[in-house]
Amino acid sequence: MVYSSCFMSEAKEKVESAQNAFTAEFVRFVDLNLNGSDLADAEALMRELGELKIRHTGKKSALAESKKLIGKVAPEERGEFGQYVQSVEKEIVSQIETVETALTAFISNAKIELERLDVTIPGRRPRTGHLHPITILRQKIEDIFVSMGYAIEDDREIETDYYNFDALNIPEDHPARESQDTFYTTEGFALRSQTSTVQIRAMERRGVPIRIIAPGKVFRRDTPDMTHVPMFHQIEGLCVDKGITMAHLKGTVTEWLKRLFGEDTVTRFRPSYFPFTEPSAEFDFSCFKCGGTGTVGGLQEAVGSGQNTSGSIVDVDQPTANSQQPTGERCRPCKGSGWIELGGCGMVHPNVLKACSVDPQVYSGFAFGFGLERMAAMLFNIDDIRHMFENDVRFLEQFR
């Protein structure tokens, strides 16, 4: 717009209309209440305000155009008009600045709030994992056997009937094969019901001489209760070489139990039957809690000092708990007997060796197997073995 000349009243109108246009748009910023707004809201308002500022005070604004009129009004009115335009401009700019200041303060506070770091808050400790009680016990036993020159074998949990039964000299009509005892999967396959399967697999793979232990899960169709779960853990041991005898078996079992429970631990072997060993025995050890006395808190003579009365192939040390007057409380882990029954063992049956193409005329060996749950329950004072598999971290955390 170019004015050749103009009257002050006309020029003032232009200024007024510029001011009115500003006021109409600015109304939403008057008495701005930022309560309940966040950083993003305030930044959006700030952008809008910036645009509004350019529209109403920028070079192309109506106000700027009106300022150009100063030179055009009559010289005697120029001073008054000039002052008027400037006062309107000042008013507009000051209103914008007030809101700008408030928004800037709000934005800066909101940013500080967002980035606030309270160095006095206690740090969040990373939760360190730890081992399951069964793993703790398994690793202890593995360490002992590794130090005695045994290798550790790991093998499959789904087995064929051949490895779970036939190769282990378990005949077709043996009760262990019944579906009540075993989980059959696809025809011809079953979840292994014992780690003895690994005896066969290991001898096939490694040949003889061999010294291995095989820890792992086994499965049996049991209804869970305080002392039974359908999945539990066993450790199998196997040693085959020339000239291996029952003495080696007894020495080995006694030695690892001494290393686990202490030098004073005594073992006993009771004649038993297993299809894959001949002769077979079950082995017990003197209770780690009462030292074989059967009582805690009273003076008792330990199991180891009892007379060996056995003339059979296995030694049976009589527990002394019954032969003496108990003076303390009945020991819990051994139920007052002084002995803890642990597992089965024996000399590997010639049929088992033959199944692995090992000549029983040249080689002989011993094997043993035992469960980990009962032992862990006794060691860690757990009254119900189901707790071990419910995976409640509050329970599991207690064992380290």
267 binds ligand DAH (CB under 6 A): no
For residue 244, state whether it binds ligand DAH (rule: CB under 6 A): no
236 scored as a contact of ligand DAH (CB under 6 A): yes
Candidate residues 219, 283, 285, 368; the one interacting with ligand DAH per rule CB under 6 A: 368
d(CA 66, CA 21): 13
- Is 165 a binder of ligand DAH (CB under 6 A)? no
Range 96-155, binding ligand DAH (CB under 6 A): none
Q: Considering only 9-17, 20-28, 30-38, 363-371, which stretch makes contact with ligand DAH by CB under 6 A? A: 363-371
Q: Which stretch binds ligand DAH (CB under 6 A): 2-10, 31-39, 63-71, 342-350?
A: 342-350
Min CB(239)–ligand DAH separation in Å: 11
Which segment (30-38, 128-136, 325-333, 367-375) binds ligand DAH by CB under 6 A? 367-375
Task: Locate all alpha helices (DSSP H) within the chain, ordered by sequence.
Answer: 8-26, 39-57, 62-68, 75-114, 133-147, 161-164, 197-206, 246-261, 350-355, 373-379, 393-396
Angle at CA 216, nearest 5°, toward 130 and 177?
145
Sign of CA dihedral 253, 259, 260, 264: positive
Per-residue burial over 129-141, b if 16 or more Cβ lie within 10 Å, else e, is eeeebbbebbeeb
The correct pick among 291, 306, 344, 365 for binding ligand DAH (CB under 6 A) is 344
What is the distance between the alpha carbons of residues 4 and 293, in angstroms, rounded to a whole number? 125
Binder to ligand DAH among 169, 194, 267, 286 (CB under 6 A)? 194
Q: Would you say 314 or 367 has its CB closer to ligand DAH?
A: 367
Give the C-alpha separation, 192 to 184, whole Å.
Answer: 9
Q: Find the shortest distance in angstroms from Cβ 197 to ligand DAH.
A: 9
CA dihedral 345, 347, 353, 356 (to 10 degrees): 30
**Sequence-distant (≥ 6) Cβ neighbours of residue 81 within 8 angstroms:** 8, 11, 12, 69, 70, 73
Q: Does 252 bind ligand DAH (CB under 6 A)?
A: no
Look at the block and give the residue holding tokens 């606030």: 116
Give whichever of 111 and 156 is closer to ligand DAH, judged by the CB atom.
156
Is 365 one of the binding residues for ligand DAH (CB under 6 A)?
A: no
Q: Which is nearer to ligand DAH, 275 or 304 (CB)?
A: 275
Options 266, 302, 345, 352; binder of ligand DAH; rule CB under 6 A? 345
Sequence-ordered list of residues with C-beta below 8 angstroms from that of 71, at least 6 positions apart, any chain: 78
Work out whether 367 is an interface residue with ligand DAH (CB under 6 A): yes
Q: Is 182 in the site for ligand DAH (CB under 6 A)?
A: no
Scored b (16 or more CB within 10 A) or e, 70-81 reads bebbeeebeeeb
Applying CB under 6 A, the span of 46-54, 300-308, 312-320, 341-349 interacting with ligand DAH comes to 341-349
Q: What is the DSSP letter of 398?
A: T
Residue with Cβ nearer ligand DAH (287 or 345): 345
Please name the residue that has the structure tokens 């103009």: 6
Does 274 help bind ligand DAH (rule: CB under 6 A)? Answer: yes
Helices marked H in 58-148: 62-68, 75-114, 133-147
CB of 349 to ligand DAH, least distance (A): 9
Give the pair of three-digit tokens for residue 279. 């002769």
Instruction: For the segment 279-338, give every residue that binds ligand DAH (CB under 6 A).
Output: none
Upstream peptide bond of 279 is cis (omega within 30 degrees of 0):
yes
Told to check if 196 binds ligand DAH by CB under 6 A, we report yes
Residue count, binding to ligand DAH (CB under 6 A): 12
Q: How far is the CB of 146 from ligand DAH (least distance, A)?
A: 19
228 - beta bridge partners? Answer: 225
Q: Is 346 in the site for ligand DAH (CB under 6 A)?
A: yes
81 touches ligand DAH by CB under 6 A = no
CB of 255 to ligand DAH, least distance (A): 17
The residue to which tokens 């809008």 are assigned? 48
Which residues are near ligand DAH by CB under 6 A? Answer: 194, 196, 236, 274, 277, 343-346, 367-369
